[in-house]
Amino acid sequence: MKDRACQTKESTGRAPGETAGRRRRYGVAPFTPLQPIPTPMSAKANAPRPLTARRSGPLTGTVRVPGDKSISHRALMFGALALGETRIEGLLEGEDVLNTAAALRALGAEAEKGADGVWRTRGRGVGGLAEPSQVLDMGNSGTAARLLMGLLSTHPFTSFMTGDASLVKRPMARVTTPLERMGASFVLRSAGRLPGAIVGTDRPVPIEYRLPVASAQVKSAILLAGLNTPGRTTVIETEPTRDHTERMLRHFGIDVRVEEAEGGALAASVVGHGELTARDVVVPADPSSAAFPAVAALIRPDSAVTLTGVGLNPRRAGVYETLREMGADIAFTNAREEGGEPLADLVVRGSALKGVEVPPERAPSMIDEYPVLCAAAACADGPTVMRGLAELRVKESDRLAMMAAGLEACGVRLEMGEDWLVVHGTGRPPKGGATVATAMDHRIAMSFLVLGLATEEPVKVDDGSFIDTSFPGFTALMNGLGAEIGEA
Ligand code: S3P
């Protein structure tokens, strides 16, 4: 006779989980019920929150945008591995990062905010996370999902993971392929999408892996898997991506080696089974978030906005280089370093922008900023040519398609290909007067609200609720500078 726990509806006449009463009706002997699949930690359903931006006067003032999202995820994760107490100042309290904190608690680590506003984690040591009894719900965040997949792939237990309607459309094979080579296995929906199960290995093998796409998430997932793998795990990248993982692992005492590899590539590697030592982390203001008030100030004449403590890791700051090439008046002052990351204050003034050709090799250093760059390009004089944008199609939405559709609805002339976009600016703000679809994408929503501060007619976004994933307080911060953004 078959193992009872493996009996199916065909063999028993009932679905898994049906009650004993029901079973008796079918006249089948009682049996040990199947373990129910754990339910997700949170089942957040956003009520759509339309927002409208109207042409505003000059933006003025000094503000600090919330903490860097990439660094916040990593600070919590590394704190959850480190021995001792890690204090994290300036953590982004956006929904994406709060989901990471909840997932780490479900994995047995401590991660809480203190009464003093400082977050504290108490870690479990490398390889010390515990099997979760809940589904890890990573919400809207590809970074959280992919980095945790890396970590969990070399913990010898099974975890279940899901995400919101945007995250479950995003490709995961880019991480599962190398992690399977290290010994983990995954059960994902067809085409490698979440929800799915991560079956960690107890016999991980180190790999040397050349990234087929420029992705810091994939690089980080492999390096994190390598922390609990004997020997040296190496990731080779031909296009350098953000290096927050490498910098922060060093800050926690791990010897991360970065060397030049063949053909000018970079090889980042770790030797497994070292321990992370708890360290304080100060999270800089997010350069991706700062780009929204920065572009808003640039496209409103006579604006003067200071953005304090912005992270300016050279692998993240490409948008500021591009904006300066467009004629933007942006000064960097008070340059300093915190926890291995460079930062500065930005002074941004209203500027007459001109279209430029953005070098495609700069894309990894500004990949999240193309939507807001499009808002700047729509107000600039002449064409702005953007190439090498294939990755934009697999972000929180297909950002290339969403930007093109929204810009056209606002009266902007453009041309688009599979991985390129040309925005034809006229030197004057476009007409606007459209309702733009945002497809659960925080950066699409914020980019069109920024554009709407300059357009002749207001711009409405169909749902601003996802802005909270990365930039809680966006509307209040912008309006405090003089923007006119309100509930639609
Ligand atoms: C991130 C890497 C980038 C970026 C994302 C955050 C990270 O994604 O778009 O917002 O924190 O490592 P990819 O690795 O997919 O390029």
Q: Residue of the nearest CA to atom 13 in ligand 1?
A: 215
* CA atoms of 442 and 388, how far apart (whole Å): 22
Distance (Å, rounded) from C-alpha 121 to C-alpha 118? Answer: 10
Burial of 189 (0-12, 13-18, 19+ CB in 10 A): exposed
Edge to edge, the sheet with strand 208-210 lists 208-210, 232-237, 266-271, 257-260
pLDDT by residue (tens digit) across 403-431? 999 999 999 999 999 999 999 999 999 99
Q: Which residue has the higher pLDDT, 206 or 25?
A: 206
pLDDT exceeds cutoff 70 at 258: yes
With a 6 Å cutoff on the Cβ, whether 100 touches ligand 1 is no
Is 70 exceeded by the pLDDT of residue 23? no
Task: For residue 261, give Cα distances in angstroms to 171, 217, 227, 272, 283.
Answer: 28, 20, 21, 21, 31
Q: What is the pLDDT of residue 63?
A: 98
Once rounded to an integer, what is the mean pLDDT over residues 458-468?
97
Residue 24 CA to ligand 1 center (angstroms) comes to 53
How far is it, in rounded angstroms, from Cα 346 to Cα 343? 10
Take atom 9 of ligand 1 and give the residue whose Cα is closest.
Answer: 368
Over residues 292-311, the pLDDT tens digits come to 999 999 999 999 999 999 99
φ and ψ at residue 88, rounded to 5 degrees: -120, 115
Q: Which helix (H) or strand (E) holds 374?
A: helix 370-379
Q: Which residues contact 18 (CB under 8 A, 6 or more apart)?
A: none
Average pLDDT estimate for 242-260: 98
Question: What is d(CA 331, CA 347) in angstroms, rounded to the nearest whole number?
Answer: 5
Report whether pLDDT(36) > 60. no
What atom of ligand 1 comes closest to residue 69's alpha carbon? 11
User: Of 365, 311, 317, which is closest to residue 343 (Cα–Cα)?
Assistant: 311
Res. 130: pLDDT tops 70: yes
Query: Is residue 103 scored above 60 in pLDDT?
Result: yes
Give the separation between CA 468 and CA 289, rounded to whole angstroms: 11
pTM for this predicted structure: 0.91
Integer Cα distance of 108 and 127 in angstroms: 12
- At residue 161, does pLDDT exceed 90? yes
pLDDT reported for residue 46: 59
Task: Look at the block and give the residue holding tokens 């991706």.
Answer: 288
The domains of the chain, with CATH numbers, are 51-65+284-487 (3.65.10.10), 69-281 (3.65.10.10)
Mean pLDDT (the chain) is 92
> Does the pLDDT of residue 38 top 80, yes or no?
no
Q: Quickly tell me which residue has 């898994």 as its tokens.
A: 16
Closest C-alpha to ligand 1, atom 5: 143
Whether the CB-CB separation of 265 and 236 falls below 8 Å is answered with: yes
CA-nearest residue for atom 10, ligand 1, is 368
Cβ atoms of 286 and 68 within 8 Å: the answer is yes
Q: Which pLDDT score, from 0 to 100, does residue 339 have?
A: 82
What is the number of the ligand 1 atom nearest to the C-alpha of 220? 12
Read off the pLDDT of each residue in 372-384 and give the average, rounded to a whole number.
98
Question: What single string gives the DSSP state of each residue in 201-263?
Answer: -SS----EEE-SS--HHHHHHHHHHHTTSSSEEEEEESS----HHHHHHHHTT---EEEE-GG
Q: Does ligand 1 come within 6 angstroms of the Cβ of 68?
A: no
Residues 138, 76: Cα–Cα separation, whole Å? 14
Please state, in angstroms and rounded to a whole number, the distance separating the CA atoms of residues 92 and 143. Answer: 14
Distance CA 193, CA 183 (A): 19
pLDDT band at residue 132 using 50, 70 and 90 as cut-offs: very high
Least confident of 18-27, 187-196, 318-327, 354-363: 18-27
- The response to whether residue 242 sits with its C-beta less than 6 Å from ligand 1 reads yes
Would you say residue 39 has pLDDT above 90?
Answer: no
Q: Is 243 near ligand 1, meaning CB less than 6 Å away?
A: no
pLDDT band for position 47 (50/70/90)? confident
Does the C-beta of 368 come closer than 6 Å to ligand 1? yes
Instruction: Note the pLDDT of residue 158.
Output: 98
pLDDT at residue number 17: 31
Statement: residue 462 has pLDDT above 60: yes
- 45 pLDDT exceeds 60? no
d(CA 258, CA 398): 32
- Region 221-248: mean pLDDT is 98
pLDDT above 50: residue 51: yes
DSSP run (H or E) holding 403 = helix 399-409
